[in-house]
Chains A and B, each alone.
Chain A
Amino acid sequence: MFGKKRVAVIGAGMTLFRRTLKETGKELAWEASKMALDQAGLELKDIDSVVMGTAPDAFDGVHMKGEYLADGSGAYRKPYSRVFVGGGTGVFAVDAGWWHIASGQFDTCLVVAEEKMSSCYPHPAYAFTTIFDPIYARPLGVTLIWIFALEMHRYMHVHGIKKEEIALVSVKNKGNALDHPCAQLAAKITVEDVLNSEVLCYPVQRLDISPTSDGAAALVLASEDVAKKVTDNPVWIDGVGWSIDSTYWTNRDLYYPRYVQSAAQMAYKMAGIKNPPKEIDVAEVYDPFDYKELHHMEGLMLARKGQAPKLTADGVTQRDGDLPINPSGGLLGVGNPIAAAGTMKCCEIFWQLRGEAGKRQVKGDPRTGLAQAWGDLMQYGSVVIMRS
């Protein structure tokens, strides 16, 4: 065990993920928080500390989002902090919740993640243009989609991977999402549909990408003492990891996410995992683009470099395969309200390990699960490992 106290997940909740929801960010955070508390059988007075995760302020145009979302997150007169590491936020918020309890300081922590991207109109893509270096990158007109297209193309080139191999991820995840009641883009599609979809930024096409979304997700974490009092089936957080690479992203070889590897190594070491593909029963791997699932499986050492497409083609990563990846439907299927999407992945692992995932339940009796997210300028990795 690392830290002073062992940490359990005892409840989870989330809202619908949709392109536009009527609720404010605060209202969404409240809905997810209340559901997680109800599932845990706790009330707000039982919560010692709160961690909120939410991504760029520019989406909301409220440049103090931690404060703005505090009431909805149940933070009223409590120790509270907002964390933000771009797309990595949703899993990192759970890592941060872990240390609140593992430090010995608190017995409970409510972890809430929210994103309302629809407020930035006509499209939140424009808010993303403000994440780049203002001196040498922005004058070139750089957009978010450029950097993914450059990374995807490099990954394809180094390993000789074809678009149709990558498209299988989109087909799988959107299909998995058909069984997720909160999913935004669940669909039965084919590889041809992906290959025939609009070319946005070659090699990225329309169906390679997750949508923009509104939504929230939350988890209740508790120390071992509290967890054992309130539930017979806690899910333990046995590993956490996070890491960042250099901000000079054009100076890195984009074919391999070393920062994900670093974060995974930290988490595997904590959890005593020596052979990740054998020891991980189910994983929620960050998939804002279809190639990212493959790229991240390799960074997480769930597949050897360049081999994730083969595992996908062989059906290993299907929900009934030997190493199910993104049984929820992932960001491609459930949706991508940035921070909430990462926390949704942690919720899914919790439900999978409790055997509560219903139609999405992976085969066997999964005991060890992993959730991962990725963010900032293709440089941030966050990982959490849970065991039932």
Chain B
Amino acid sequence: MSEKIKHFPGEQVKNIDVKEGRIPAVRHRPNAKYLWSAGIAMSRFLEGLKKGKIVGATCKKCGRIMVPPRAFCEQCFKPVDGYVNIKDTGTINTYSVSYVAGDASRIKEPILVAIIDLDGASEGMGILHILGEIDDWKQIKFGMKVKAVWKPSEERTGSIKDIKYFRPLQEV
């Protein structure tokens, strides 16, 4: 703000006054719904999860084994050369302990969130997932080895949630 300006526009109001109708307002809740086709590569991924496998994609030009899989290599800008199963073990690249839900409301039991670099994929190919079977989040360490815990096969639907969570490979 310039020292030449003496008038600062904007009228501050309280949220509660808007919500309770003391300030004129209009309400609306959109009811748009979506159904996303998973696409060429991610269909392979979801079908793999249903069978208890994590599917990656390979590019011979750059030599990467990529997860999540993709139909084309974004670096070489060519179709991938194929799809391979990679391991369901990996290493914690980074993690967080979330006490906040999507609507910013608070949750008591924290969600343990991590990026896990999967074994058998190229270096740094992490996926986002949840950690479990950990009593105290302070037991989580960078570089800790973890393994996927799968839902029973009859309960799998072809979803990232077919993996319930990743647990420490060794007892903590």
With A153-B95, A201-B97, A250-B127 given, can you name 6 additional A-B contacts, CB distance below 8 Å?
A: A16-B9, A21-B13, A135-B46, A215-B10, A253-B93, A351-B1
Q: Are B96 and A201 in contact (CB under 8 A)?
A: yes
B3 at the interface (CB under 8 A from A): yes
Q: Are B94 and A15 in contact (CB under 8 A)?
A: no
Task: Give the total number of A-B pairs whose CB atoms are below 8 A apart.
Answer: 175
Which chain A residues border B104 with CB–CB below 8 Å? 122-123, 125-126
Q: Are A135 and B39 in contact (CB under 8 A)?
A: yes
Q: Are B10 and A252 in contact (CB under 8 A)?
A: no
Which chain A residues border B101 with CB–CB below 8 Å? 141, 143
Which residue of A139, A140, A182 is within 8 Å of B1 (Cβ)?
A: A182
Q: How far is the CA of A251 from the CA of B126 in the complex (A)?
A: 5
From 133 to 150 in chain A, residues with beta carbon under 8 angstroms from any chain B beta carbon are 134-137, 139-143, 145-146, 149-150
Most A-side CB within 10 Å, residue of B2, B11, B42:
B2
A1 at the interface (CB under 8 A from B): no
A-B contact pairs, 23 of them (CB 8 A): A17-B10, A21-B10, A22-B11, A134-B34, A135-B36, A136-B45, A140-B160, A142-B128, A143-B100, A149-B98, A154-B115, A181-B8, A200-B99, A200-B100, A201-B96, A201-B99, A201-B113, A202-B96, A248-B74, A250-B127, A251-B124, A354-B2, A356-B2
A358 at the interface (CB under 8 A from B): yes
Which residue of A20, A150, A151 is within 8 Å of B13 (Cβ)?
A: A20
Q: Are B10 and A31 in contact (CB under 8 A)?
A: yes
Q: How far is the CA of A200 from the CA of B104 in the complex (A)?
A: 9
A76 at the interface (CB under 8 A from B): no
Most A-side CB within 10 Å, residue of B100, B114, B125:
B100
B129 at the interface (CB under 8 A from A): yes
Q: Are A18 and B10 in contact (CB under 8 A)?
A: yes
Q: Are B102 and A246 in contact (CB under 8 A)?
A: no
List of 3 A-B pairs having minimum Cβ-Cβ separation, nearest first: A16-B10, A358-B3, A149-B96
Min distance, Cβ B132 to any Cβ of chain A, angstroms: 13
Q: Are A21 and B11 in contact (CB under 8 A)?
A: yes
A19 at the interface (CB under 8 A from B): yes
Which chain A residues border B142 with CB–CB below 8 Å? 157
Which chain B residues border A118 with CB–CB below 8 Å? 15, 18
Q: Are B113 and A12 in contact (CB under 8 A)?
A: no
Which residue of A35, A136, A198, A203 is within 8 Å of B68 (Cβ)?
A: A136
Nearest CB in chain B to that of A215: its residue: B10
Which chain B residues border A198 with CB–CB below 8 Å? 99
Min distance, Cβ B135 to any Cβ of chain A, angstroms: 16
Q: Are B98 and A139 in contact (CB under 8 A)?
A: no
Most A-side CB within 10 Å, residue of B93, B101, B128, B142:
B128
Q: Are A123 and B103 in contact (CB under 8 A)?
A: yes
Which chain A residues border B125 with CB–CB below 8 Å? 251
Which residue of B66, B96, B102, B161 is within 8 Å of A139 (Cβ)?
A: B161
Q: Are A121 and B19 in contact (CB under 8 A)?
A: yes
A105 at the interface (CB under 8 A from B): no
Which chain B residues border A180 with CB–CB below 8 Å? 1
Which chain B residues border A91 with CB–CB below 8 Å? none
Q: Are A145 and B100 in contact (CB under 8 A)?
A: yes
A14 at the interface (CB under 8 A from B): yes
A271 at the interface (CB under 8 A from B): no
Which chain B residues border A83 with CB–CB below 8 Å? none
Q: Are A121 and B128 in contact (CB under 8 A)?
A: no
Q: Are A122 and B103 in contact (CB under 8 A)?
A: yes
Which chain B residues border A136 with CB–CB below 8 Å? 42, 45, 68, 127-128, 160
Min distance, Cβ A153 to any Cβ of chain B, angstroms: 5
Q: Are A143 and B12 in contact (CB under 8 A)?
A: no
Most B-side CB within 10 Å, residue of A141, A200, A202, A354:
A202
Which chain B residues border A157 with CB–CB below 8 Å? 94, 142
Min distance, Cβ B55 to any Cβ of chain A, angstroms: 12
Q: Are A150 and B10 in contact (CB under 8 A)?
A: no
